A and B are shown apart, each in its own frame.
Chain A
Amino acid sequence: MRGADAGLRERPAARALLLVLAFAFLALFLAAPLAIVFVEALRPGLGAYLAHLAEPDARAAMRLTLTVAAICVPINVIVGLAGAWAIARFRFRGRNLLVTLVDLPFSVSPVIAGLVYVLLFGAQGYFGPWLKAQGIDVIFALPGIVLATLFVTFPFVARELIPHMETIGSSEEEAALLLGASPWRMFFAIVLPNVKWSLLYGVLLCNARAMGEFGAVAVVSGRIRGETTTMPLHVEILYNEYMGAASFATASLLALLALVTLAAKAGVEWRFAKSIAAQAPAGSE
C-alpha cells in the first residue's frame, strides 16, 4: 500500500517545491500586473481617481469604446451563428478550408489587421481617393475602428459555437421540422436555446476583445482626442504624456472589465458543463 502510494505521488518536498514555483511565477506574471494597475490608479487618492475618469476626453473614450462594441458584437453574433450553422450542420467541399479561414485572424498580428484597412481606405489606399471624393471618412474615423475591430474579433463567436453544435447533434432540429415547424421557428425554438451557453461564452470573449483591442485600432484611429480615441488608446496617450495616474485610472476600468469577463466566463463554463451533460445523447458517457 505504502509502496504503490509512493510511486504515484511526489515526495512532500518535491510537491512543496513545485507549488512554491507555480505560485511565485503566477504572482510575478499574473497577480502583480493586475495589482499594480489599481495601486497606481488609486495612488493620488480616490478623489483624483474619480476626477480622472470624469474628464471629457476620458468620457468620450468610454462612449467610443461602448459604441464600437455595440456595433461589433451583434455583427459577430449574426455571422458567428450563420457560420457555425453552415460548418457544423453541413458537409461540403472546402469545409476544412473554411474552418481554417474563420480562425485566420487569430494568427495575424493586430497591427496587420489595421494596416490592411489603411491600404484599402487610407488617403493613398486603393479606395482612398474615391472615398475622399464622396466625402466619406473611413480611416481616422469610426468606420475604420469598427472594421479593424471586426477583423480581430471575427473568430470568437463561431469557434465557440461550432464544437458545441456538433456535440448536440441535429436530432432535435430534425424532429422540429418533421413536426411541421418552419425553419425560423426551429432556429428560435430549438437551435438558439440549445447553444445559448456557448453563444454567451463567445459573446463575452468577443466583447472583451472589442473593448480592449489596441494594436489594430491604433493603426486606423489617428488618435484624434475626444473623437477617435478608444479607452485603450486614451490609456496610451496619457501614459506617453507622463500622466501616469490618469492613464492607470482608465486602465483600471479596462482591468475591471477583464475581471468581470473572467468571472462571467467561469460562471458560464460551470453552467455550460451542466447543460452539456444534460444535452449529451443518452448512452454517450
Chain B
Amino acid sequence: MAEPTKICPYSLPDLKNTSDDAVAAYLKTKSFAQSHTLTDVRLSISTAACLIAGATFYLDYTQGFEKTKTFTLYACIAYFTLNTALTIWLYFFESSTIYVGKHKTAPVSLTISSKVTKHDPTYRLKILQTQVVDGKNIVRNRDVEGPFMDWIDDKGFFVKKPFESWLGASVPWILENEDVPKELDSSVVTASGRKVQEEMTGVEVGSGKGSVRRKGKKV
C-alpha cells in the first residue's frame, strides 16, 4: 500500500499483507495489468453461499420451519457443496498466489506467490515469469527472499523505495531492460500453449549466481 498506513512491525501477517499489496501496486506502475480471476472466483463462490444462507434465513424467519422444509433441504445441500468447492479452490488453485498479471505491451506474464515461515521475518516470493519467445511459452521460476525490515521501518510504516528496488532487482524484467536470457531459448524449455503449472518441473530454478539449473525435457 502506498498510503502511509501504520502496521505493527512485529506481526508477521501484517508485514506479509502489506508487502503483498505493495507487489501489486508496484507492478501496476510497471505497466502490468493485474488479472483478478482467482480472487473473483473465490468472491463469487462466497457471495453465492452467503446469498443462499440469507434466503434460507429470510424464508425460515417469515414462513417457519414446516413450510420451508424442502427449500431448506436443497439450500443446505447447495450451501455445503459451495463451501466444499470454496475450500478446494482455496487449497488447490488460489493457495498462496498473490498476484497474476500480464504486461500491457510485452508478451510477459507473472504469477507470484508469497510465503512466510512462522517467527521468521523473511518475505519469500516465488515468481513465475512466462514469456512468449518465437511462439513458445518459456517459464522462468525465481525464488527470492528478503527481510521485511528492509522496507518496513521500525515504526511500522512501509517504505516504497527499498521494496521496489529489491523486487525490481529480483526480477530484472520488471525494470524493462532485461533481454531474453540466452539459456532460455526454445531449445531448452517447453513447447507452447501449456499451463504454467505443468511446465514448472524441469524448468530453470532460481536465478543468478549459484542457482541450480536443470535441463528441462522437451515436451
Q: Is this pair of chains taken from one and the same complex?
A: no
Chain A residues in the interface with B (C-beta under 8 A): none
